[in-house]
Copies of this chain bind each other. A is one copy, B any other.
Amino acid sequence: MTVELICVGTELLLGNIVNTNAAFISEKCAMLGLSMYYQSVVGDNPGRLEHLLRMAKERSDVIILSGGLGPTQDDLTKETAAEVMGKTLVEDARAKNEIQEFLSKRGHDITENNWKQALVPEGCKVLYNANGTAPGIIMEDGDSRMILLPGPPNELIPMFEEQVYPYLHSLQPEIICSKMVKLCGIGESAAETKILDLINEQKNPTVAPYAKTGEVHLRITAKAENEKKAFAMIEPVEEILKQRFGDCVFTDDPQVTLEMAVAELLKKHRLTVTTAESCTGGLLAGRLINVSGISKQLQEGYITYSNEAKEKLLGVSHATLETYGAVSPQTAAEMAEGGAKAAGADVCIAVTGIAGPEGGTKEKPVGLVYMGCCLRGKVYTEKNFYSGSRSKIREYSVASALTLLRKVILKELEE
């Protein structure tokens, strides 16, 4: 069964707002196993909308529209859609009552144009709206279906979840479920190469990689008649992925971020951690402190942007800085060692690099970043190279530092 999405709104064409409704509706339709081949945005223009609706009705089984259900003269989605479906508009008594209640409860005057919102196509299913005055609508004409939803996400989302999703589910015997396995410490192409056989053979379930900054997410998706069966199909594939990627897998929970996985590991081993940052300048500690309740693990951190600060706060030797420079494995190592000592922490993770756009040389170009990690006296270093803007290089550096920290803990304490 095919579904097509049409979002109505001049503010989308002007770029005043980002179309988050489209991502929300598309994701839900994909979960239901509905195939979406087209999404469109048009303004509040009945001629263009009518043309698009007639074309969509020819090529798609279900058309979902959002926006243009307001009380003003501009809002013509309902009128246009009803005409294309050959329906007359009639007043809906319950919708009228609810509009009256909604407005008077908020102390708003009711104006004549509000009653326009109580008109619905004859014989349609009305989707009453607890969060606004525009009711949604489901219309059927033979095998054609149109679903009209209000534009504001705080009205559209609950209406979709509570009323539209069950309706679409009833049309669709099979549903789609998915699970995410998140990896760090491996690039997208290397990850893809490791599962090319799965990707090439795949029918149901399928596996697809998605690259995030410093992470790769693998989504496993299965189609089945119910959730239980879908997850039973997903499980063996998940096991294969976990075997192949081993320690690179940091979670299979969509809610868990890399910093949360690292915080969990620190907690498990009762480790205190500190940070020693040069080019990331606080962003690494800032990201660890995203995790609420990390205070037992992380008590303090050092931002040592200058060489003097590296000497003073972390005890990096003047000779090391002179001989090898601030961006070197030697300095990264001393930063990590010195940070752990200064903070009295079990482990310290250090970053020093050239984020650019200035400061690069031929030997040490912009994007060169060294990490150091010292766990109870044992020091690891890592060399990395990133491309992109200053902020992108810093963002990648933070992800790699978290990845190194995790790797060292796993190696030292779990192998």
Contacts and interface: CB of A to CB of B under 8 A. Distances in A.
A12 B106 CA distance: 38
B210 A16 contact: yes
Contacts of A280: 286, 289
Interface string A295-306: 100111111111
A389 interface: yes
A390 B52 CA distance: 38
Contacts of A14: 26-27, 30, 36
A282 interface: yes
Contacts of A23: 12, 15-19
Nearest to A25: B15
Contact of A302 (B13, B17, B302, B356): B302
A290 interface: yes
A106 B187 CA distance: 12
Contacts of A358: 292-293
Contacts of A17: 23
Top 9 A-B pairs, shortest CB-CB distance? A15-B27, A282-B282, A281-B289, A15-B26, A301-B303, A300-B309, A282-B285, A299-B306, A282-B286
B277 A282 contact: yes
Stoichiometry (number of copies): 2
A20 B22 contact: no
A378 interface: no
Given A154-B392, A275-B303, A300-B304, A19 B22 contact: yes
Interface string A25-47: 11111100000111111110100
Interface in A351-366: 355-359
Contact of A19 (B18, B108, B284): B18
Interface in A297-343: 298-306, 308-309, 312-313, 343
A288 B387 CA distance: 21
Contact of A39 (B40, B281, B308, B355): B40
A167 interface: no
Given A19-B22, A282-B282, A300-B305, 17 more contacts: A11-B210, A14-B30, A15-B23, A15-B24, A16-B210, A18-B23, A19-B23, A37-B45, A40-B41, A281-B286, A282-B289, A282-B303, A283-B283, A290-B391, A298-B305, A300-B313, A301-B302
A131 interface: yes
A48 B42 contact: no
A303 B300 contact: yes
A388 interface: yes
